[in-house]
Structures are given as C-alpha cells and as structure tokens.
Amino acid sequence: MKLDKLFICQAFFLYRNRKSEMKMEQTQLPNWLKKRAEVTPNRIALIVRDESYTFGQLYAYSLEYSRKFNQFGIRKGNKVGLLLSNRFEMVVAIHAIMNIGGELILFNTRLSSNELSWQFQDSELDFLLSEEKYGDMIQEMNSAKVIFVENVPSLLENDEFVAVEEFTLNQIATIMYTSGTSGFPKAVEQSYGNHWYSAVGSMLNLGLQENDRWLCTMPLFHISGLSIILRGVIYGMTVILHEQFQEERVNRDIVKYEVTIVSVVTTMLNRLLEQMKEKEYPSSLRCMLLGGGPAPLPLLEKCREKGIPVYQTYGMTETASQIVTLSPEYSIEKLGSAGKALFSAQIMIHYDGREAKANEIGEILVKGPNVTKGYRNRKTETELAFENGWFKTGDMGYLDEEGFLYVVDRRSDLIISGGENIYPAEIEAILMKHEAVFEAGVTGCADDKWGEVPVAFAVLQNNVLEKDELINFCKKYLASYKVPRDIYFVEELPRNSANKLLRRDLKKLIRKD
Amino acid sequence: MKLDKLFICQAFFLYRNRKSEMKMEQTQLPNWLKKRAEVTPNRIALIVRDESYTFGQLYAYSLEYSRKFNQFGIRKGNKVGLLLSNRFEMVVAIHAIMNIGGELILFNTRLSSNELSWQFQDSELDFLLSEEKYGDMIQEMNSAKVIFVENVPSLLENDEFVAVEEFTLNQIATIMYTSGTSGFPKAVEQSYGNHWYSAVGSMLNLGLQENDRWLCTMPLFHISGLSIILRGVIYGMTVILHEQFQEERVNRDIVKYEVTIVSVVTTMLNRLLEQMKEKEYPSSLRCMLLGGGPAPLPLLEKCREKGIPVYQTYGMTETASQIVTLSPEYSIEKLGSAGKALFSAQIMIHYDGREAKANEIGEILVKGPNVTKGYRNRKTETELAFENGWFKTGDMGYLDEEGFLYVVDRRSDLIISGGENIYPAEIEAILMKHEAVFEAGVTGCADDKWGEVPVAFAVLQNNVLEKDELINFCKKYLASYKVPRDIYFVEELPRNSANKLLRRDLKKLIRKD
C-alpha cells in the first residue's frame, strides 16, 4: 500500500517534472536549412570548386542524403561520426544528419589511425560517414557501420522522408574532441543553442550585409570552419568553401567572388600578404577574422597599410568559436589584446578565489549561451571546468581598465601550429610509452611557416636511442602535425619545487646541447 | 507518519523540480544596456530633440534613475507602470527599471482616465511613473505610488546601486494591454526572450550596418516603438526618437541624421511623400518598415519611383512586433501580401482542424521564441489563444504556393486608425452602457488621413436621443481616437442565423439612411 502510494507519488512528480520541463524555456527554432530554403530559396548558399548551389538546392540535396542515410538505417538520436574533407558532400551530410535529428561527431582527418580508433570508441558511434581516401585510417570500428559518401548515389527512388521541423536549442548538435591538460581528448558537446548564439553574437559584432560572402579555408571538423557553414545558413549568406588553405586560391577568390569576410590564423595571413605582393585587396573585403593568438605588430601594420580591417579573436571549441574580439580601430592602440567579450557573452578574470582587479593576471573565465554545457561522459572533468556557471578556460590573462582582454599564457602550454591546437601532454604521453624513455617534456618553438612547432626533450633510461627511431615511434601514434620537429636528449627536465614540469623553461635547454 | 513521508516526498520532488528548472535552458544574457555601454561606450545611442547621448551616457543616466527609484522604494520584482510620452526620460526610465529587475507595464497615454483606471487596477501596480501633464488622468491609484519624472533630480547623492547583471530570457520584461474579441483589455506578457528574438529576427531579415540609424516616431508604449529602443541597445545602433509623428520633422531628420531605417504605417507614409513633394530621399535610407495592414498599389508605386525600399510587415503585441515581412523586391509582384515569417518564426494556416493547403483561407497561427507565453491573470483566454504551442492570431489569411502570407481579415473586425488598433467590441460595450441604446455595432470606414475611423450603428430603446449626446457619452469612457466619427441610428443590426453581429455588413446600412 505504501509502495503504491510512493509509485503514484513518483509518477505524479515525474509528470510534474516533465511538465515543468515542457513549460521551461525549451526554445525551439525552425530547422535552419529548411527554413532558409523557404525564406530565400534562390540566394547562393555555397560555392565549392567554382560550383554554386542555392539554399533551395542545398536543402534538396540534404533531403536526398537524409533519405539515403535513413535507408542505411540512420535514425533520430543516432551518433553519426564524420571523417571527411572540406567538400560539398560534407556540408550536405552535416545538414542531412541534422534533418534526421542525429548527433554529429566531427573527427580531425589529420589524426593517426591510433588516435582515431580511440575517439571512435569513446564516442560510441552508431555510424561513420567517411570517404574512400580515409579507408586505411578506419580500423577497429566494432559495431558502427561505415558509409563512404562516394557510395551515396545522387539520384534516389522517391522514398518518403520528413525532415525534423524544429531544432531545440539545448539539444546536442555536434561533438568535437579537444585535448587538454591531461593530454587525453575530451568530447565537447555543442548544442544548437551554442551554435545559434555564436552566430548571433558574431553578427552583432560584425554586422550583416546583403552582399556578405564568407570564405572558409578552415577544416569543417574544427569549430572555426563549422561555425562558418552554420552562420551561412542562419544569415542567408554565401560561403565559399576551400578544401584547404592555398594562398593563391584565397587571393584569387577574394577578388573573383567579392568576398567580404575571411577567417584566418596568423600564419595564413602572412602567406596571403606575401603572395599578394604589391597588389591591393578589393574594398568589398570588410573583415579579416584572425584567430589563434595575438598578431605581431609588423603584420598588423602591413594590414593597415593595405587597408585590410583585421578583427582579432579569441575562442575555443568549448565556446563554439569566437567569444572575444578586437575591432580594427583598436588593433594598434590595444596591441596584443584579444578585445572584448561579444554582446551575449561575458569574461571574468579569476585570481585567488575572487574577481581580479584591472591589470591583475588570473585565469580567464567565460560565460554565455554559446558556451558548452560540458564534456560527454566526463562528469569529473566537466565539474572541474565550471565554477558557478562560468567556464574556466585554463588560459591566463588580464583585463585592462577599459575591459580589453590580454591573454598572457595559453592553457596547458598550448602550442598553436598553423591553426591546430597541440597539447604538450598528449605528445609527452606517447614519448613515455617508448621503453627507452624515462621522462619527456614538449614545448613549442617559433616557426616561420606554422607559427609554432612542437619540440621534445627526453631523459632516457640506460638504453641508447636514436632520435629518428623515437620520431618514427611518434608517427605511429600521432597526427603528423603533432610529431616533434626535433627531439633533444637531456639529463633532466626543469621542474619546480612541487616537481611540476616547467615547460616554458625547456627551451633554455637547447643552448646546452 | 504517512504524512511525513508525503512531505519528504514532496520536498524531494520540489527540489528535483527546481533542479530540473535550473538545469533547463534558463538562458541568460548580460544586462543589455550595461553590456552595450561596456562594448561600445562612445557610440551614439539616442538622439532626442537634437540632443545626442552615447551608450555610456545613457547607461550612466539609467543608473542615476535606478538609484533614485530605489530610494523611492522600487525593488526587484515590483510592477512599475509607465504613463509617459516619447521623451528622453522615458527611455532612461525603461532601462532604469530593467536595471532594478522590475516589470514594466506600458500604458497608452491616449486612453481616457476611465480606461486607465481599469488597467491600473488590473495590473496590480506597485508604482506608476508619469509626468505632470498626465496628472489629471491618474485617478483612483489605491496603493500604487506615483512618481513624476519631472521630480527626479538629475544629480543625486552617491548612493550605492548595483544594476542587475543578467537578464533571464523567460523572465517578464514588459506588459502591454491589448483588447480583443471580448472588448476587454488583456495584459500581454513580453519576456526578455521575446524582445531578444524579435530583435535578432529583424536583424536576420534587414541586416545590420555600422551606419544604421533607426527613426522612431511610434509611441514607446506600443511594441512598434519599444522594440526600436531595445533593438538600438542590442545592435549598438543609434535611435532618433520623436515625441510624435510630424512629417516635416521626419523628412528633415532623415536627411540631417542620415537615417537608414524608419518605421511607419500607411497613413504616415502617405503624409511623408506628400510633404516631400518632388524631392528625393538620400540613398542612405535603406528601409521603410511599413506596418498596420497591406499598402495600396499607388503608394507602393510612388515609393518605387522615388527609390524608397518598402518592407511591409505583419505583427502584433503578442509577437513582440514584426513576425512576417515582405521584402521590397516582392512588393509589387506579391501585392497585398504580408510576406514570409522571419527566420526564427513560423506561420501556419489552420482550417477545419487541420493545416490548410496553399491558397486556402483559414486562421493565421504563429509560433516562435518572440511569441508571448500568454496573458497575465487570464488563464482561460491564454488557453484559448494557444493550440499545441501555436498562437492563434484570430486573423484570417492564406499562404500562396510560395509560402507568402496574405491577410484577408483582421481579427475581431479590427480597425486600424493611424497605427492604433481599435476593437469594435470595446466601443460597442460603451455605447450599450447608455440607457437609451438597445444594441450597437461598430465598424471601420475608410479615411484619407487615418486610413480608417470607427463608425457606430445603434438601435435605440423607445427614447429619443441626439447623436451628439451619445458621442459625448463615448468621450467620457474612450480614448478620443476610439470615439465613433459618426453614429447612425438604425432599426436593426445585420446578424447571421446564429444571431452573431455581421460587422462587415454594417456599412451597407449607411446608404439606407
């Protein structure tokens, strides 16, 4: 009898719970691409390899893919991995899975097959969409079905398929892996709301013009690339998509397509300017969005001479792209600053358990509806990453009197190499796997082409070991951009009194060699 | 013992409920004006009577007001009425109350004191902010304190006041009264989220340029006016505020301040063009946002000749302004259409319990995060107004094959007179209050200046009654724009078989007289 009552009571409160959830702000928006195809069907959505597609066409393609994927067995709620290069089919596949209501897990195609295997397992994939050139990379898929986009015919029988009508903002749309202090990748959950607020925040900062065309050379498996594709659909804006960064093509297309916005990192911007030589950019180019750390003065001055408006930005996978930006009018005056938080977001500097004063260095905390709710299946890491609703970036910095952010030290001694984030701990863990290595430390060294490259320092066991052997060992486990450019064998690593590795002091060891 | 358990059980589930609410998408954004003053303090926020105020200054003023209001006793959660004209102090007061976390109830200053008294009572005001010229209108305030903005000194002692840091999107920001079929005003709750999504939806449609300046001649107590003020802060855009519509001043300021966007209704646009005569508008004017019903072809053609881009819109208090708009490129081709739903919103035509086919007339239903959650303290009316999350506008219309909306009949035979909504039922109720009137019907008649004006038809008791006496009677209870322009005494009113008044047939009676 008592039990009965309890059950009724539970049932009632579960119902209340559900009702309260329903009543709560379960904000929904129309399916973005579907809606966009209704509102402006004839606008150009995408230009890839000089082929143009309208929003109407892009949606039609995405429906065809959805139907086909549905035939393959993909259903609402399925976890669908993407291991694809920047190609038309990747954009279509992203929208097709959103039409079905599946979750997208975007994998970095530059990872080693070992790294990929680990992420495939961790993400509990139901399906993997890939292309034939990555066939070798796909090992140990267990239960997940693999579909190569080359095998998705472009004409299909008229099978019934009804796209999801609405996106719920707190539903997870995409997942991307990011490493961190631990060196182990974590799956960042990005909701539809995170992407929406990221797009809106960027628009409130940069404005939105009828003639806007955003050139994307960033990989779509990174948030810097994916966010451009999603903005395109939300804004009704043309995106010009390149498979990869090639300075000649970028400079050509900026002129050819009257591009208004380009996303770059420092090394790309350098290469663009070099290739451009004395030539001028057209006045239609209204924004060079520069990520991946503060730009050096000579580069900014060169851009000013050429009349290129540079917007520096700071952001990460966890913030669904930019969260802080510096407008061109401040780029020289506030040299080295990342700017101010976007309208919908906030920054705080945390020092010694309190909010830091102006110019006081502390950890950078961010907050806003574009910030992830956490890491999938990593309760502890998620709890550690948040404090009172603020996300702890792990980066160190300060705000000046006017509220401009200066990032003084990236999280976990992060190395940024050609726009890719490299976490030293991840490489160190691999080096230490080798039986001859006693301990190892990795840091970034300046590089003309990539900005930074990783360099390793190893203390050996008694054994003798060739540098090349250890580098080859790394190649087995790591994406090539993470493989140390050089390895120094040293007697000991610099550590502080608490025995913590001082990565910034590693470089000093080079002279001794 | 059993009771104890039940309490524990309840407490537990209340806790769970609260937790689930906390975890649910309680989206928060930074306090809009505070944040705007941090991001772009030196941009011009507002121009009133040729005085300019930056966002930094506007925020400083709003803080001063917040402090003073706080001294007057206004606290978070208080219901604060506003009976004010379009003046600087009204804008400041709106932000000041938002800083405190109070709810704003905006009253139409053109209402009669009888109408106002009713709304003051219904809204359970804690405070009323007004100005001396409306002193006579404020009767029977009961417990609410009245503050005249003239008595708020501009310099105050340095009293501590901390503005609300964040706005929660599902929190109620403002309340506006709208009448309806019943003829009784209902309090529409507008949340911060409603306003936010309205602003974002408009931006996705119209774009956002650095030089944008929006001219507002609409009263701020209407959503058409208030939404411009809020967009200004969210976009970081200059608003030029006029106390009222005067065609010479509007035309002068469009040139003087290089205005890019103006909100108008048909009658205003006619008067603007007439006053402008042969002169041209500057090319900076990129959008004439036209509300209040479809525009006639000659007017649209005149605008096209003059190169004025007209965006027709459809919206209401319940949708926090525009929800459907027609772009200029379609204004002639889709003559009479209100356009398509904004990106974040949806329209559906409902006929006979199902979704209507193309070109089939039915009730217009709308949905989106800009749509109100309902009417305060009117559970029944709220439940009747919604169906499966869709808001039933009461307006009739259809969608063509391409999804363009055509409104064929406004809700409750709505009369739109110079941008003000007039509900016949409200006037009929007043007429029938008079002892000599047996029954009454009201409809709109075309008017050169106002678009439409209300005209009444009355069936008398045995008594004899002068027309003027009845008109004077109406003036006691109704805002002057609602007072019938003319009254016809008739023998009976047109009714259908169910005895329902056929307001559209009233006009036919005029010829008989």
List, for residues B288-313, the tens digit of each pLDDT value.
999 877 777 888 888 988 889 999 99
| Confidence (pLDDT) at B13 | 42
Identity of the residue in A2, A13, A209 whose CB atom sits nearest the CB atom of B209: A209
* Architecture of the domain delimited by B198-409: 3-Layer(aba) Sandwich (3.40)
List, for residues B414-461, the tens digit of each pLDDT value.
888 888 888 887 888 889 888 898 888 999 998 888 888 999 999 998
Residue A28 has pLDDT above 60, yes or no: yes
What is the spatial distance between Cα A386 and Cα A348, in angstroms, rounded to a whole number?
Answer: 13
- Listed range (A71-80, A340-349, B4-13, B237-246) with the worst mean pLDDT: B4-13
Question: How large is the average pLDDT for residues B4-9?
Answer: 42
| Confidence (pLDDT) at A142 | 64
Burial-class residue A60 by CB neighbours within 10 Å (0-12, 13-18, 19+): middle
List, for residues A236-288, the tens digit of each pLDDT value.
999 999 999 999 999 999 999 999 999 998 888 988 999 988 888 999 999 99
**What class does CATH assign to A415-512?**
alpha beta
CA atoms within 13 A on the CB side of B422: 31
Strand spans (E) along A432-482:
437-447, 451-460
Are B326 and B400 in contact, with CB atoms under 8 Å apart?
A: no
Q: Residue B316: helix, strand or coil by DSSP?
A: strand
User: Residues of B with CB below 8 A from A20's CB?
Assistant: 17, 20-21, 24
Residue A10 has pLDDT above 50, yes or no: no
CATH of segment(s) A29-167 = 3.40.50.980
What predicted TM-score, i.e. pTM, was given to this entire model? 0.86
Which residues pair with residue A85 across a beta bridge? none
Q: Give the residue on A whose Cα is nearest the Cα of B14.
A: A13
Q: Look up residue B103 and give its amino acid.
A: E
| Confidence (pLDDT) at B202 | 96
Identity of the residue in A16, A20, A208 whose CB atom sits nearest the CB atom of B208: A208
pLDDT band with cut points at 50, 70 and 90 for residue B329: confident
| Confidence (pLDDT) at B156 | 54
Are B320 and B223 in contact, with CB atoms under 8 Å apart?
A: yes
| Confidence (pLDDT) at B2 | 45
User: Residues of A with CB below 8 A from B169's CB?
Assistant: 25, 27
What is the spatial distance between Cα B192 and Cα A119, in angstroms, rounded to a whole number?
Answer: 40
Domain coordinates in residue numbering, chain A: 29-167, 198-413, 415-512
Q: Residue A118: helix, strand or coil by DSSP?
A: helix
* Architecture of the domain delimited by B55-168: 3-Layer(aba) Sandwich (3.40)
| Confidence (pLDDT) at B23 | 46
| Confidence (pLDDT) at A17 | 42
Residue B19 to chain A, least CA–CA distance (Å): 10
Residue A369 to chain B, least CA–CA distance (Å): 6
Q: Select from B303, B361, B359 the least CA-distant residue to B331.
A: B303
Interface touch B2/A6, C-beta < 8 Å: no
| Confidence (pLDDT) at A412 | 64
What is the spatial distance between Cα A259 and Cα A282, in angstroms, rounded to a whole number?
Answer: 9
| Confidence (pLDDT) at A103 | 98
| Confidence (pLDDT) at B359 | 93
pLDDT band with cut points at 50, 70 and 90 for residue A501: confident
Interface touch B343/A207, C-beta < 8 Å: no
Give the other-Cβ count within 10 Å of A252's Cβ: 12
| Confidence (pLDDT) at A189 | 98
User: Residues of B with CB below 8 A from A235's CB?
Assistant: 204
pLDDT band with cut points at 50, 70 and 90 for residue A157: low
* CATH 3.40.50.12780 for domain A198-413: yes
Question: How large is the average pLDDT for residues B345-372?
Answer: 94
Interface touch B28/A369, C-beta < 8 Å: yes
List, for residues B131-149, the tens digit of each pLDDT value.
999 988 887 666 789 999 8
Percent of chain A with pLDDT over 90: 63
Residue B184 has pLDDT above 90, yes or no: no
Question: How large is the average pLDDT for residues B331-357?
Answer: 91
| Confidence (pLDDT) at A333 | 85
| Confidence (pLDDT) at B511 | 59
Residues of B with CB under 8 A from a CB of A: 2, 5-6, 9, 13, 16-17, 20-21, 24-30, 35-36, 38-39, 169-170, 193, 200, 203-204, 207-210, 234-236, 340-341, 343-346, 368-369, 403
Interface touch B343/A30, C-beta < 8 Å: yes
| Confidence (pLDDT) at A449 | 84
Question: How large is the average pLDDT for residues B334-356?
Answer: 93
Residue B4 has pLDDT above 60, yes or no: no
List, for residues A198-251, the tens digit of each pLDDT value.
999 999 999 999 999 999 999 999 999 999 999 999 999 999 999 999 999 999
Identity of the residue in B9, B17, B208 whose CB atom sits nearest the CB atom of A20: B17
What is the spatial distance between Cα A336 and Cα A64, in angstroms, rounded to a whole number?
Answer: 47
pLDDT band with cut points at 50, 70 and 90 for residue B168: very high
What is the spatial distance between Cα A408 and Cα A424, in angstroms, rounded to a whole number?
Answer: 18
Interface touch B209/A204, C-beta < 8 Å: no
